[in-house]
Amino acid sequence: MRHVGLHLALGILLTGSQSLAGSVADFATDFSTTNNPNSVAYGTWSYNDGAAPLPTYIANWAGSSGLSGWGPTANTGGDFLPFFTQVTSANVSSTWANQAAVGDVIIHDWDSSNGDGNGQANVTWTSPSAMVATVSGQVWSPATTSTGREQEYELILNPGPSQTVLVPLTPIIELTDTFSNPLTFSFSNVSLNSSDVVQLQVQEDPSSPFGNFTGVNLTISSAPEPASLGLMIFTCLGALAQRSRRG
């Protein structure tokens, strides 16, 4: 019975580490129609134009009945971009021609014709604690016919002067990078500190005359830091062995 406390402490440590390893932030699953920024069980999401969260959840975006999402408050010609929307069972066929799944998030990026003075479309996730994580996702063009509006995306850690670029600006090609054949990315063993930011930005390709819609999936899943976890387990086991020799 004398070692119950140490066994219990080790069990709690392992259970907590397993819980941490199972934590996942998912852009689509966590998408909110009421809060921006959106603090969830595991981190904080923000749907942005430039550095600012989009202010308004709009019921009929740009005069499109039934198409709702986050955009500029004005929602008028010349000022309705960027825009974030989540695919619903009501519009997955009629609006998106099944080029997305129900629950997917689709972003229309900024352009000079309808973006007024707003910033580029980007989604950010802020880490709630230090961790080692896997950052993964997909982007694709939901277009079913060529519009000549090809876009680009990039993935950045801690955007700013000291940023780390995980994916440099990469073209998203209409009719090639489709829902059934998306561009994918995955980065494992990404070291994050508390309040670190993962940003995925979508913008016009220089050859494009206008912005366009882009499907985006983004997940961040955590794993316990091997060095820290190993040290804590070793310490507990060492203490347990020491007490066994005395007992």
**CATH of region 25-225:** 2.60.120
DSSP the chain: -TTHHHHHHHHHHHHHHHHHHT-EEETTTT--SS-SSEEETTEEEEEEETTEE--EEESSGGG-TT--EEE-SS-BTTB--SEEEE--TTTTTTTTTTSS-TT-EEEEPP-TTTBTT---EEEEEE-SS-EEEEEEEEEE---SS--S--EEEEEEES-STT-EEEEEEEEE-TTTS-TTS-EEEEEEEEEE-TT-EEEEEEEE-TT-SS--EEEEEEEEEEE--HHHHHHHHHHHHHHHHHHHHH-
For 235: left if phi > 0, alpha if psi spans -120 to 50, otherwise beta; the answer is: alpha
Mean pLDDT for the chain overall? 87
Domain range list for the chain: 25-225
Averaged pLDDT for residues 193-209:
97
Averaged pLDDT for residues 2-28:
57
The answer to whether residue 225 scores a pLDDT higher than 60 is no
Task: Tell me the pLDDT tens digit for each residue of 83-125.
Answer: 999 999 999 999 999 999 999 999 999 999 999 999 999 999 9
Banded pLDDT at 66 (limits 50, 70, 90): confident
Query: Torsion angle of alpha carbons 59, 154, 175, 137, nearest 10°?
Result: -80
